[in-house]
């Protein structure tokens, strides 16, 4: 008996008509939507400050107005975390919408994740719940289930547990569902979106509009990842591998329902646009739940000076000195300069003859980053380097957020399913738990025999996918042949990563080997400062860190090229 679970959203702001596409494009039993991320919770928290009735993804309601009737006609249940900080509010709004449209649906929601009151100073503090609250709603007959902060994979483990009758100790089956959920959660990233080898897609694979993914999930926890017929993009072992590595760390991928062993995942092509995932093993979940805490960190401002033509370094030095003098009487707590050499010699446009010098300041006091910076920068307009101008004048300074991870015992979180008639079903915490410890590193494969090498970009051989977890970044790197794996495993060490990514040289870089995926996964601690909302670096979510790594040159065996 197969459960067909699709995804129609990978983030708040994803393709609006994806809900309709998934409902009309082929058969489905459950349609999920993932709207939450660390930054989204901060955005929703700020919305709730202005309006206590807000705090959920309003886009979902507009999508549902168009598609609730379709889902009801086709018997497709909808499960979404669009409830954000206010799942009860969104559930009520869906009921009002259904009544107005005359569609008889039962709407339930999951709550218990909101721990803000227990974390003074937080704008939002929410525990990552598992899937058994969702399962309780579905077992009680809900047609639409709205949650707040659950793990992304819970949108799949919940429906799977309800459908197949899994108990909380069905660890291998739950782990298989977690892996399926992790592949689906980011939508079109599993079907060719943001894919390192996109130029190899081949004929008949239109990447302009990738279709959204779905999983054909089986009772034993295995699944096939695919997409609706006739939709764009493609699904192969590479696209699934890339998404499996996204925002993960070591071999053990811990969650509130189960710890999935990524080192047991087996992938194989099962036909065009079909990848089978099997062999996934699971272990008892950890005793503590992760809580994502968002708080206001202070105020931030920036100005970007444009440096054109000759003497770029000297121009940058002059304006740095001038700004330091201007800010000396009341300097912001943090001052960060970055010179981006986008210029080139003898350029045939002014833009390509120009470099960008970026100044970012932060301080708890809005005045310290606002008027002082604005005045200092503007006053240099006629008194600095030749060709002085800025991309835009600095404003008064904007608040920025800080994301932090804390952990609480599972039993401290009042996880509950709230049914359409108001009845509450308590969801017990995990009976058995296990502290997560990384397994011993697997043995390295035999190295490639010595032979001629060529200096070339890593990306000619390896793909990569990178992302953020709080202040840390992960970079997963994989190859597509056993020979390339024999080279990669010996060559791309943590030390080699530090050399290729200079800003990581003073940071803790941990490498995890995943031979079954022919992959190495790196965690770079602290490279993103205090998280995406703090905008610590040029690429605050490390989305392109993997692509930068792929562009770096090293000695690659000619046999692989």
132-148 mean pLDDT: 98
Asked whether residue 432 is domain-assigned, the answer is: no
Is residue 462 located within the same domain as residue 319? no
Asked whether residue 438 is domain-assigned, the answer is: no
Of all helices (H) and strands (E), which one includes residue 456?
A: strand 453-457
Asked whether residue 528 is domain-assigned, the answer is: yes
End-to-end CA distance of the chain: 45
Token output for 539: 């690429």
Is residue 519 located within the same domain as residue 537? yes
pLDDT of residue 166: 98
**Does residue 453 have a pLDDT over 80?**
yes
Strands 77-80, 30-33: pairing is parallel
Is residue 60 located within the same domain as residue 197? yes
pLDDT of residue 258: 98
437-445 mean pLDDT: 91
548-to-332, 466, 500, 553 alpha-carbon distances in Å: 31, 10, 9, 10
pLDDT digits (tens, 9 = 90+) for 89-122: 999 999 999 999 999 999 999 999 999 999 999 9
Is residue 330 located within the same domain as residue 223? no
Asked whether residue 440 is domain-assigned, the answer is: no
Largest CA distance in the chain: 75
pLDDT of residue 529: 86
pLDDT of residue 481: 97
pLDDT of residue 120: 92
User: Got the DSSP string for 288-353?
Assistant: EEEEEEEEEEEEEEEEEEEEESS-HHHHHHHHHHHHHHHHTTS--SEEEEEEE----TT-SSTGGG
Is residue 243 located within the same domain as residue 352? no
Q: What gap in Å lies between CA 145 and CA 420, rounded to an integer?
A: 10
Residue 7: which domain range? 3-292+405-426
Asked whether residue 170 is domain-assigned, the answer is: yes
At 34, is the pLDDT very low, low, confident or very high (cuts 50, 70, 90)?
A: very high
Is residue 18 located within the same domain as residue 78? yes
Query: 82 Cβ partners below 8 Å, 6+ apart?
Result: 9, 12, 33, 35, 36, 56, 57, 59, 60, 90, 146
Q: What's the number of domains the chain is made of?
A: 3
Of all helices (H) and strands (E), which one includes residue 241?
A: helix 237-245
Q: What gap in Å lies between CA 142 and CA 139, rounded to an integer?
A: 7
Asked whether residue 341 is domain-assigned, the answer is: yes
At 532, is the pLDDT very low, low, confident or very high (cuts 50, 70, 90)?
A: confident
454-463 mean pLDDT: 98
Among 67-76, 260-269, 436-445, 500-509, the minimum mean pLDDT is found in 436-445
Half-sphere exposure of 451 (CA within 13 A, CB side): 10
Asked whether residue 445 is domain-assigned, the answer is: no
What share of the chain has pLDDT > 70, as a percent? 100
Is residue 526 located within the same domain as residue 415? no
At 451, is the pLDDT very low, low, confident or very high (cuts 50, 70, 90)?
A: very high
pLDDT digits (tens, 9 = 90+) for 500-529: 999 999 999 999 999 999 999 999 999 998
**Does residue 371 have a pLDDT over 80?**
no
pLDDT of residue 396: 86
pLDDT of residue 158: 98
pLDDT of residue 536: 76
CB 74 within 8 A of CB 50: no
pLDDT of residue 228: 98
pLDDT digits (tens, 9 = 90+) for 252-300: 999 999 999 999 999 999 999 999 999 999 999 999 999 999 998 999 9
Is residue 8 located within the same domain as residue 149? yes
Give me the residue label for tokens 């397994």: 439
Long-range contacts at 339-344 (CB < 8 A, ≥ 24 apart): 339/312, 339/313, 340/538, 341/312, 343/307, 343/308, 343/309, 343/312
Across the chain, mean pLDDT equals: 95
Asked whether residue 435 is domain-assigned, the answer is: no
Q: What gap in Å lies between CA 279 and CA 368, rounded to an integer?
A: 56
338-357 mean pLDDT: 96
At 530, is the pLDDT very low, low, confident or very high (cuts 50, 70, 90)?
A: confident
**Alpha carbon 553 to chain centroid, angstroms:** 27
382-to-100, 314, 371, 388, 389 alpha-carbon distances in Å: 62, 17, 19, 8, 9
Of the candidates 180, 287, 304, the one whose C-alpha atom is nearest the C-alpha of residue 244 is 180
At 42, is the pLDDT very low, low, confident or very high (cuts 50, 70, 90)?
A: confident
pLDDT digits (tens, 9 = 90+) for 216-234: 999 999 999 999 999 999 9
Is residue 37 located within the same domain as residue 102? yes
**Strand ranges (E), 165-254:** 213-217, 223-227, 252-254
Is residue 342 located within the same domain as residue 470? no
**Does residue 393 have a pLDDT over 90?**
no
Of the candidates 329, 337, 229, 305, the one whose C-alpha atom is nearest the C-alpha of residue 274 is 229
Q: What gap in Å lies between CA 52 and CA 48, rounded to an integer?
A: 5
Is residue 190 located within the same domain as residue 319? no
Is residue 124 located within the same domain as residue 157? yes
Identify the CATH number of the domain in which residue 336 sits: 3.30.70.360
């Amino acid at each position: 008996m197969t459960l067909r679970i699709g995804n129609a959203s990978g983030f708040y702001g994803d393709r609006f008509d994806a809900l309709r596409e998934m409902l009309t494009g082929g058969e489905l039993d459950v349609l999920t939507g993932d709207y939450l991320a660390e930054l989204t919770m901060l955005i929703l928290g700020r919305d709730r400050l202005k309006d206590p009735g807000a705090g959920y993804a309003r886009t979902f309601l507009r999508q549902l107005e168009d598609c609730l009737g379709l889902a009801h006609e086709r018997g497709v249940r909808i499960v979404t975390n669009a409830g954000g900080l206010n799942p009860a509010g969104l559930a009520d709004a869906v009921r009002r919408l259904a009544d107005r449209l005359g569609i008889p649906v039962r709407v339930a929601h999951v709550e218990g994740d909101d721990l803000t009151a227990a974390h003074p100073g937080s704008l939002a503090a929410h525990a990552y719940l598992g899937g058994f609250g969702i399962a309780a709603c579905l077992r009680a007959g809900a047609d639409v289930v709205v949650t707040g902060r659950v793990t992304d994979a819970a949108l799949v483990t919940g429906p799977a547990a309800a459908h197949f009758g899994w108990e909380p100790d069905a660890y291998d089956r739950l782990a298989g569902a977690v892996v399926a959920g992790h592949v689906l959660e980011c939508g079109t990233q599993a079907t060719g979106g943001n894919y390192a080898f996109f130029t190899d897609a081949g004929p008949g694979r239109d990447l302009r509009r990738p279709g959204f993914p779905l999983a054909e999930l089986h009772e034993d926890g295995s699944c096939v990842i695919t997409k609706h017929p006739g939709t764009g993009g493609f699904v192969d072992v590479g696209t699934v591998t890339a998404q499996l590595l996204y925002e993960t760390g070591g071999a053990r991928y811990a969650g509130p329902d189960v710890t999935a062993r990524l080192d047991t995942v087996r992938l194989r092509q099962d036909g065009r646009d079909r990848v089978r995932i099997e062999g996934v093993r699971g272990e008892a979940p950890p005793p503590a739940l992760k809580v994502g805490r968002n708080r206001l960190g202070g105020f931030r401002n920036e100005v970007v000076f444009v440096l054109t033509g000759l003497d770029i370094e000297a121009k940058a030095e002059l304006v740095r000195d001038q700004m330091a003098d201007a800010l000396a009487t009341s300097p912001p707590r943090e001052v960060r300069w970055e010179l981006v050499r986008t210029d080139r010699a003898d350029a045939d446009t002014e833009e390509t003859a120009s470099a960008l010098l970026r100044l970012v300041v932060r301080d708890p006091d809005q005045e310290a980053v606002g008027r002082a910076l604005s005045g200092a920068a503007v006053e240099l307009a006629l008194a600095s380097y030749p060709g002085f101008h800025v991309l835009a004048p600095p404003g008064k300074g904007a608040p920025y957020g800080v994301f932090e991870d804390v952990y609480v015992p599972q039993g401290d979180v009042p996880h509950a399913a709230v049914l359409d008639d108001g009845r509450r079903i308590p969801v017990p915490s995990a009976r058995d738990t296990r502290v997560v410890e990384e397994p011993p590193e697997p043995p390295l494969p035999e190295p490639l025999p010595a032979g001629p090498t060529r200096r070339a970009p890593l990306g000619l051989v390896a793909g990569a996918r990178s992302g953020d977890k709080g202040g840390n970044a992960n970079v997963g790197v994989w190859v597509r042949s056993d020979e390339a794996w024999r080279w990669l495993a010996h060559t791309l060490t943590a030390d080699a990563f530090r050399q290729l990514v200079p800003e990581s040289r003073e940071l803790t870089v941990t490498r995890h080997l995943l031979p079954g995926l022919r992959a190495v996964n790196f965690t770079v601690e602290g490279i993103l400062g205090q998280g995406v909302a703090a905008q610590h670096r040029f690429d605050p979510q490390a989305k392109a860190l993997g692509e930068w790594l792929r562009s770096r040159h090293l000695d690659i065996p000619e046999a692989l090229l």
